[in-house]
Amino acid sequence: MDIVSVEIQYLDTVEWRQDIVRNFTMGDEIDVWRVKTADHLVLITQLIKLLLPDEVKRAERYYQEKDRQRFIVSRAALRIILGRYLGQEPEDLRFEIGPNKKPFVKSTRAAINYNVSHSDEWVTIAVSKIAVGIDTEKIDRLFAYKEILADNFSEEEIRFINKGESMERFILLWTRKEAITKLTSQGLDERLKDIPCLDGKRLTNNNIVNSSKAIKLISFSLDDSNLATLAYESGHSISVHFHDINLTSI
């Protein structure tokens, strides 16, 4: 059993770059893209044309229209952004499922890793050469979060949540736990309670986080009602860039 370091921080300020022209090259960095669904509803007819038939069928399975629209925007945004990095047309990309059930884009070019999350009006996409995980959650004040605290959080984490703005604190810690599970493809299982999620440098074992590599978590706000956390392997010298993108601009 190996000891794994998990470094966790919250960014009080995030500079969302309003990129009109972006050099879509992948160096030693992670690009986090933020896409607002509501800003792209007028493009739904064009965006759905970028999807493959099985993706269109997935969209049609959503009962709520807003969920269907968000899926279309999310999937089209992923195709457009990854296509720019790989020098391919969005509709030509093909996705497959890896042995760990984590999807990847099939390409003859340099390997590229990505992860997607969506909540409320936002879609977030993390792109890098290294493995990444990202989770986005809405601060839903009607959600009965206290009912699930004991099963998913340590006593120290529960004390933190119960101080101050409890709902915000719950969502913050939840995005951190889920971002790690998405990074390592372990899923939300019985180990969730033991995954570290409080600020600072924490030590755990590789069986808990499903990885023997050091992990870094960066949490940030998308707006006043949505929080997100990015997770990545921190054994690399990596810079993180944030992009506020309108799909019509790229």
Residue 22 CB neighbours (<10 A): 17
User: What is the pLDDT, as a whole number, of residue 184?
Assistant: 92
% residues pLDDT > 90 (the chain): 72
pLDDT at 164: 79
Q: What is the DSSP letter of 146?
A: G
Assess whether pLDDT exceeds 90 at residue 101. no
Tens digits of per-residue pLDDT, 34-62?
999 999 999 999 999 999 999 999 999 99
Predicted confidence (pLDDT) at residue 20 exceeds the cutoff of 60 = no
Band the pLDDT of 108: cuts 50, 70, 90. Answer: low
pLDDT: is 24 or 227 the higher one?
227
CA distance 29 to 26: 7
Q: Which structure tokens are listed for 134?
A: 């990202």
Q: Using pLDDT thresholds of 50, 70 and 90, give the confidence band for residue 244.
A: confident
pLDDT digits (tens, 9 = 90+) for 129-170: 999 999 999 999 999 999 999 999 999 999 999 997 899 999
pLDDT at 181: 94
Distances (CA, A) of 178 to 2, 58, 72, 230: 21, 23, 23, 10
Look at residue 109 in the predicted model and tell me its pLDDT.
Answer: 65
Q: Inform me whether the pLDDT recorded for 110 exceeds 70.
A: no
Q: What are phi and psi of 51, to 5 degrees?
A: -90, 150
Q: Is 63 a residue whose pLDDT tops 80?
A: yes
In this predicted structure, what is the pLDDT of residue 140? 94
Q: Has this prediction a pTM greater than 0.75?
A: yes
- Asked whether 118 and 136 are in contact (CB, 8 A), the reply is yes
Whether the per-residue pLDDT at 25 is higher than 80: the answer is no
The pLDDT value recorded for residue 188 is 77
pLDDT of residue 205: 92
What pLDDT, on the 0 to 100 scale, is given for residue 236?
Answer: 67
* Spatial distance between the Cα atoms of 212 and 233, rounded to a whole number of angstroms: 10
Query: Above 90 in pLDDT, residue 122?
Result: yes
Distances (CA, A) of 146 to 16, 33, 169: 33, 31, 12
Q: What does the mean pLDDT of the chain come to?
A: 90
Alpha carbon distances (Å) from 86 to 66, 72, 90, 105, 183: 30, 21, 10, 10, 22
Given this model, what pLDDT does residue 249 score? Answer: 66
pLDDT (tens digit, 9 = 90+) per residue, 187-238?
A: 778 889 999 999 999 999 999 998 889 999 999 999 999 999 999 988 767 8
When comparing pLDDT for 4 and 21, which is higher?
A: 4
